[in-house]
Amino acid sequence: MSVSGRARLVEHVRLPLHRDGYALAANSAFTAVTGLVYWVVAAHQYGPRDVGVNAALISSMMFLSGIAGLNLANVVVRFLPEAGRRTARLTVIAYAAAAATALTVGLVFVLGVGEWAPALDFLRDDLLLGGWFLVSTLGWCLFAIQDSVLTALGRAVWVPLENAVFALLKLGLLVVLAALMPVYGIFVSWTAAMLVSVVGVNAVIFTWLMPRRPPDVAERLTTLRTPAFRRYFAADYMCSVAWMSGTNLMPLVVTAVAGPAANAGYALAWAVSLPLYAFAASIGMSLVLHGSREGASPAELERKAALQGARVLLPSVLVAVVLAPQILTLFGSGYSAAATTVLRLLALSALPYFVLTLAISVARIERRLGPAVVAWAAQAVLALGLAVPLVSALGVTGAGVAWFASQCTVASVVLVLRVRRHVLSLGTSARA
């Protein structure tokens, strides 16, 4: 590379939007590799039924944590940079609110699990496992928020390190627990590693990374007490619940309609494709962070984020689609035969998801979340509504078809509306 080329590369990476975006993208890439290894080991240590049951437990925990988290992960990224000297206090308040809600929601779920998810009714009968599920639900709330705290503090480069420790620890625990816990070792290894990460990372945050800001910066946080903020919070929370419903209830639908073994195929296909969605979400999070801090036009930041994301996402999706059978063979020949089409559909769906993510990130910056709520709710309703008949007719492939159709439909509508809005805006400017 020439001297001028290196200089342009350094200048590109120094831009905060790109630096934090690439740090979060590096986290997604590492998660992809370690996640693949984790589920390969799990698939070889446990049978399809056990893989499906553990995947359903993890999805249920994530769904409940998503509800209990009150969307504070997104709120933290948007408003913590303005907190000044109250940064530590507001972080503690966010954690406490999420933890209290998680315990309540988790307890209601476990006590009524026979009604909500009959396939998991063993949680109510096994007090030890049920208690561990409650603690894990609380811990996952904090785990999700702590990444946003690091990002909001301008320490996004710590996120890949944190998740690297989590990924390696859960893999090591999986190997150990495979012999000691022949049924629930996947769930326990995943959640035990997460709880260790929560304790360690927050010790670093509060003893080392928490900044001291000038007093006048904190005055901007009075927006948290306004009706406008409450409307923003409620709308953003509904967006979060809709997304969590679509992603984490799908395995429960597959398990209920087609059984745990079928869900194992879906869960492994989702585990392979999830880093594509995590990467898109990371670019969106960086866009929200810097759109809130900087004076640049949201449209300009969105254009840069779109180009940055497309450079990585397009070739990654292509690789996943082309190599889907070979990737799934790592889990076992049976998974390759059953889930190749599902993996391809889930990977392709990451592209319309990226379109939605960018649009909703701009809406978060502009605090104009009404259309975003409608978009995410429509996607969840379409995906879950189509899944039941399609899984009944096509097996696990039906879940992939439902997910792909819902993402493409909603992203197309959002894209058309945004183009229309842009054209009308240009017409208004020309007349002025």
Distance linking the first and last C-alpha atoms of the chain? 47
CB 246 within 8 A of CB 277: no
- Give the pLDDT band (50/70/90) at residue 428: low
Q: Is the pLDDT of residue 13 over 80?
A: no
- Give the pLDDT band (50/70/90) at residue 290: low
pLDDT of amino acid 159:
80
pLDDT: which is higher, 429 or 134: 134
Closest CA to 23 of 116, 160, 141, 203: 160
Q: Is the pLDDT of residue 215 over 50?
A: no
Q: What is the rounded CA–CA span in Å between residue 75 and residue 144?
A: 12
Residue 333 neighbours by CB under 8 Å, 6+ apart: none
CB 302 within 8 A of CB 358: yes
pLDDT digits (tens, 9 = 90+) for 64-94: 998 998 888 877 877 777 667 778 888 999 9
pLDDT of amino acid 164:
83
pLDDT of amino acid 362:
83
pLDDT of amino acid 341:
96
Q: What is the mean pLDDT of the chain?
A: 84
pLDDT of amino acid 381:
96
Quick count: other Cβ atoms within 10 Å of Cβ 93?
12
Amino acid at the residue 64: L
pLDDT of amino acid 11:
58
Q: Is the pLDDT of residue 100 over 50?
A: yes
pLDDT digits (tens, 9 = 90+) for 367-413: 777 888 899 999 999 999 999 999 999 999 999 999 999 999 999 99
Q: Is the pLDDT of residue 12 over 70?
A: no
Structural domain containing residue 391: 3-431
Q: What is the rounded CA–CA span in Å between residue 90 and residue 202?
A: 14
CB 28 within 8 A of CB 275: yes
Candidate from 44-58, 192-206, 278-292 with smallest mean pLDDT: 278-292
- Give the pLDDT band (50/70/90) at residue 296: low
pLDDT digits (tens, 9 = 90+) for 310-367: 888 999 999 999 999 999 999 988 898 889 999 999 999 999 999 999 888 888 777 7
Q: Is the pLDDT of residue 278 over 70?
A: yes
pLDDT of amino acid 294:
53
Candidate from 87-96, 214-223, 365-374, 412-421 with smallest mean pLDDT: 214-223
- The average pLDDT across 5-9 equals 54
pLDDT: which is higher, 18 or 240: 240
Q: What is the rounded CA–CA span in Å between residue 50 and residue 293?
A: 46
- The average pLDDT across 123-139 equals 94
Three-state secondary structure along the chain?
Answer: CCHHHHHHHHHHHHCHHHHHHHHHHHHHHHHHHHHHHHHHHHHHHCCHHHHHHHHHHHHHHHHHHHHHCCCHHHHHHHHHHHCHHHHHHHHHHHHHHHHHHHHHHHHHHHHCHHHHCHHHCHHHHCHHHHHHHHHHHHHHHHHHHHHHHHHHCCCCCHHHHHHHHHHHHHHHHHHHHHHHCCCCHHHHHHHHHHHHHHHHHHHHHHHHHCCCCCHHHHHHHHHHHCHHHHHHHHHHHHHHHHHHHHHHHHHHHHHHHHCHHHHHHHHHHHHHHHHHHHHHHHHHHHHHHHHHHCCCCHHHHHHHHHHHHHHHHHHHHHHHHHCHHHHHHCCCHHHHHHHHHHHHHHHHHHHHHHHHHHHHHHHHHHCCCHHHHHHHHHHHHHHHHHHHHHHHHHCCHHHHHHHHHHHHHHHHHHHHHHHHHHHHHHHHHHHC
Q: What is the rounded CA–CA span in Å between residue 146 and residue 196?
A: 13
Percent of all residues in the chain with a pLDDT value above 90, rounded to a whole number: 49
pLDDT of amino acid 97:
93
Q: Is the pLDDT of residue 32 over 90?
A: no
Count: domains in the chain: 1
pLDDT of amino acid 25:
61
- The average pLDDT across 38-46 equals 93
Q: What is the rounded CA–CA span in Å between residue 113 and residue 122?
A: 9
Residue 132 neighbours by CB under 8 Å, 6+ apart: 188, 191
Percent of all residues in the chain with a pLDDT value above 70, rounded to a whole number: 82
